[in-house]
Structure 1
């Protein structure tokens, strides 16, 4: 007993054979084992776990007691009563029925909304206008090569030609390929005059004539390229367009698939509108503005070039883990009286979507006058159509432009070798050809390849509006 008291005083939990029968320490275990419950620990003693092992010495009398283990046993069937299982509450079934009814109602509402949305969209009938895979070469009844030096006022650095050097069919694909200008035309005073032989595609003189003047530091277009259109053979007013093409790679290349009105019904550009299905840049993905991994779609519309509202209808689309120069994509357009949208490969991957739900003049919020104080006249709303000027015949254009001074390539970005405001911009670009021309020369890199062009017009009786 003396040892027992000593152990209890020190927080130990042990028993001896001298314990009297009937005491709590001698009660049998409910699990029929020989382990007896430990006495209550002394709250003022030092916990064993807080003492180093060396502090216990070699005497077993002062060592911590052996670890206790948790014992479990299986509860046998019938040992625990479960009265709730003997009789079920009749209301319990509603716990299952009510959620199922809610789910059925939810599916029904969702199905109705989907049906209502689909049925409310006007389903147009389309008639084929053009389906060209270039297997028979360039169909001159449809396609027209265009020769100019003006670049549509963008200050581009290419001269578009009528020769097979820049636009041709190879391996069943239409190829538009930029090439270097004849150096002799740049290194000495020369004049390109496309009106002399009647080949110029533009009635504007500055789009047909270019001059090299070494004294002034100006040169003719340093690059030749191609532009081809369907103006003569395939036009649509509302409908669809799909062009399957691989865009080029190469610094300062500017590929475009776009549309212009057959007639300037409402006035000169951009009063009569422009539809850019896709535009890109040939530079690689490190280019600050986005290279051949990004394309954009836009509409151009406004009372004059200074008030072009293209920024209100302009959207970019990045390629997913690839580039638009790595392989072919289908660039599409769907256009009706109520909407216009562009897409890539599938209508589900839309780029630009524009609703014609209010007059475009109102949407543009244009000023009352231009910078010269001339009043800007609304020539669109008088038609009574909210989609004006996109309510007339348009034709398709495919081209690869180079450079330019309109800001498509921003000054100071990624080593751009010219400034838009410089009078010697073309000369500066030509002087840097050892930097950019090698990026065009990898096999197929510096050219746009077109596999097919398809055009449909809306032919369900609404195309006249």
Structure 2
């Protein structure tokens, strides 16, 4: 250790003894004084400089033009003034706003459920509003044998049916004709006649059901069918899904759809031109709550999930291309008669008819259908839509689909909140922007 220190001290001492003049100094090789710069006189350099100026100017002009174009394109879709006209967090069921619709015929979709006022099918608790399907033979005095034969259900007798058509209020089980009492009961709630909007926003926070052949929906229908029967007066489906698992080929409860229905006749409904879908990669929509929303103006309707930046489908309306032209209905005919424009009398100046009228909100959970929502021969579907005994076929396969239904209210849709905004400042309804 001593020898090492002595060597280090000696080395340090010898380094300090080196004269300053002997040390290396940095030398600059920069030219001093005036000197020739021949490259500045090179024509190629001058041309390159001019090109750079031209390119830079064009880039600036391009960005400026893009900004101007973008401004005028986005301007019609800017955040507009809205007035909150209804909000419900479902601490209780507000029967001044919501009415339960009671029918037996599946509301034109051929669903297999009987919609009721039974509190087992629609009720409120700490989690929100629940719409839950139940089995008819477990929630009524109707036996399984009576579902199939020799039983008549007439809702006009007690006045519970809400339809104006007697056929929607009557069911009879007959093994010869293949008809039966609806094997499932559920609920459908509507704000018709009580809350509606014409242009605005709707947001519904909900969790979807889990179980085969269950059909949850959050949708809107016209207050008055100004243009005629469905789909002439339109339909806005904010959310539609299926309770089947994600293995279902057509998409189960891991996917939902936002859709507009419109057309001169049911056969020419052109929903396929105005539908969008959202599929989540992990889990499904029955695991947690999501916000299903739309923003609706005279110029467009767009669907979104959780936030307006998560757009599902954007439908643009144009005055020079109204929906009658978009659907190319002038080229179609039924019964050798060309399809007339059902919206020719509209006062809209943006080509958005029939979506220029007031619409109300509907919350529903159906079971099964005969309108193609569950395609035939796909995913083990146990019935054929066109079969007269479709309900029989469905109910006879209960041993297969009933075990897929989640327990309790998880087999239904739970709605935590609903918000409806009218476009325009409060006190100025139906402002067209």
Q: TM-score range by the shorter chain?
A: 0.7 to 0.9
- Name the structure 1 match of 2:86: 130
- Name the structure 2 match of 1:175: 130
Distance 1:88 1:453, change over 3 A: farther
Within a 5 Å distance, the mapping from 1:382-401 to structure 2 comes to: 382-385=345-348, 386-401=351-366
Any gaps of 5 or more consecutive residues in structure 2?
Answer: 1-23
Question: 1:77 offset after TM fit, Å?
Answer: 10
TM-score by length of 1: 0.76
Question: 1:448 offset after TM fit, Å?
Answer: 0.3
Structure whose alpha-carbon radius of gyration is higher: 1
Q: 1:294 aligns with which of 242, 246, 255?
A: 255
- Name the structure 2 match of 1:309: 270
Question: 1:368 offset after TM fit, Å?
Answer: 6.0
Q: 2:107 aligns with which of 152, 173, 184?
A: 152
Q: Does the Cα contact within 8 Å between 2:148 and 2:181 map onto a contact in 1?
A: no
- Name the structure 1 match of 2:384: 419
Deviations along 1:143-175, one digit per CA (max 9) or x if unpaired, are 001101122211110000011010000214000
Deviations along 1:313-354, one digit per CA (max 9) or x if unpaired, are 111211132311111110001111111111111111111211
Q: Does the Cα contact within 8 Å between 2:193 and 2:223 map onto a contact in 1?
A: no
Distance 1:410 1:144, change over 3 A: same
Deviations along 1:238-285, one digit per CA (max 9) or x if unpaired, are 111000000111100000000000111111111111111110001001
Question: 1:301 offset after TM fit, Å?
Answer: 0.8
- Name the structure 2 match of 1:164: 119
Q: 1:408 aligns with which of 367, 373, 383?
A: 373
- Name the structure 2 match of 1:365: 328
Within a 5 Å distance, the mapping from 1:245-394 to structure 2 comes to: 245-357=206-318, 358-367=321-330, 370-385=333-348, 386-394=351-359
Q: Does the Cα contact within 8 Å between 1:141 and 1:232 map onto a contact in 2?
A: no
Distance 1:83 1:373, change over 3 A: same
2-structure distance, mates of 1:396, 1:88: 83
1-structure distance, mates of 2:385, 2:136: 21
Question: 1:114 offset after TM fit, Å?
Answer: 5.0
- Name the structure 2 match of 1:440: 405
Q: Does the Cα contact within 8 Å between 1:143 and 1:232 map onto a contact in 2?
A: no
Distance 1:338 1:462, change over 3 A: farther
Question: 1:371 offset after TM fit, Å?
Answer: 3.2
Aligned to 2:394, the other structure's residue is in SS state: helix
Matched, 1:220 2:181: yes
- Name the structure 1 match of 2:14: none
Distance 1:209 1:117, change over 3 A: same
Q: Does the Cα contact within 8 Å between 2:132 and 2:409 map onto a contact in 1?
A: no
Q: Does the Cα contact within 8 Å between 1:134 and 1:451 map onto a contact in 2?
A: yes
Aligned to 2:217, the other structure's residue is in SS state: strand
Superposed CA RMSD: 3.0
2-structure distance, mates of 1:447, 1:77: 86
Distance 1:343 1:371, change over 3 A: same
Count of aligned pairs: 386
Aligned to 1:265, the other structure's residue is in SS state: coil
Q: Does the Cα contact within 8 Å between 2:221 and 2:361 map onto a contact in 1?
A: yes
2-structure distance, mates of 1:227, 1:243: 15
1-structure distance, mates of 2:76, 2:277: 29
Aligned to 1:428, the other structure's residue is in SS state: helix
Distance 1:120 1:163, change over 3 A: closer
Name the one with the larger helix percent.
2
Question: 1:388 offset after TM fit, Å?
Answer: 1.0
Within a 5 Å distance, the mapping from 1:74-223 to structure 2 comes to: 114-135=70-91, 137-182=92-137, 184=143, 185-223=146-184
1-structure distance, mates of 2:343, 2:159: 35
2-structure distance, mates of 1:307, 1:151: 21
- Name the structure 2 match of 1:68: none
